[in-house]
Amino acid sequence: MDPFIVLVLSLSCLLLLSLWRQSSERGKLPPGPTPLPVIGNFLQIDVKDISQSLTNLSNVYGPVFTLYMGMEPTVVLHGYEAVKEALIDHGEEFAGRGSFPVAERITKGLGIILSNGSRWKEIRRFSLMTLRNLGMGKRTIEDHVQEEAQCLVEELRKTNGKCRFMHLYLSLGMCVCHVDHILSKIFLCF
């Protein structure tokens, strides 16, 4: 068989499979513009003015509509009332985070930023407990830096305008080392 015919048949099958998959998913999702295979609705969104593009789409499809970012469907809530209804009236259904398939493969569901569900709650609880144990909410690093800066200013005043390089160097070094020691205690757990 001719390679060109094989290529055309393969692309046609891929296109039909993609359209069939999207149409079966669409029955469960809010209405939205028809996506193109593989690239979705990217061409219908003006990158320079995304908010205006979404406003135009909400005028056509209503405050809740579906866009396809590539092959992934994304439900868009446009306007205060739609967001309020989703988060207040249906908060349990919207409580989770979106999934990022590439990131999930890389992190294997671990980590703070991209984890989800009960794992995320467990990591968050542990992180907050650890940060509180290390002094979060008590005396901040900024207070330590300001205290050390004040000591450095006092050392500079003692010189009476005469710069003694060695004393200045030692004073500055001590300030940095003290703050660095505090930071090392905090980051030791990570």
The pLDDT of residue 62 is 92
Residue with the two structure tokens 């006092």: 154
The pLDDT of residue 60 is 93
Q: Can you give the residue ranges of every domain in the chain?
A: 3-78, 139-187
The pLDDT of residue 102 is 73
Residue with the two structure tokens 């919207």: 94
* 68-110 residue pLDDT tens: 888 888 889 999 999 888 888 887 777 766 666 777 777 776 7
DSSP the chain: --HHHHHHHHHHHHHHHHHHHHHHHHTTS---PPPBTTTBTGGGS-GGGHHHHHHHHHHHH-SEEEEEETTEEEEEE-SHHHHHIIIIITTTTT-SPPP-HHHHHHHTT-SSSS--HHHHHHHHHHHHHHHHHTTTTSS-HHHHHHHHHHHHHHHHHHTTT---HHHHHHHHHHHHHHHHHHHHHHHTT-
The CA distance from 75 to 68, in Å, is 9
- Within 10 angstroms of residue 175's Cβ, the number of other Cβ atoms is 19
Bridge partners of residue 36, in order along the sequence: 40
- Closest of 139, 149, 152 to residue 182, by C-alpha: 139
The pLDDT of residue 161 is 67
φ, ψ (nearest 5 deg) of residue 69: -95, 95
- Do 75 and 90 form a contact (C-beta atoms < 8 A)? no
| Low pLDDT (below 50) residues in the chain | 183, 186-190
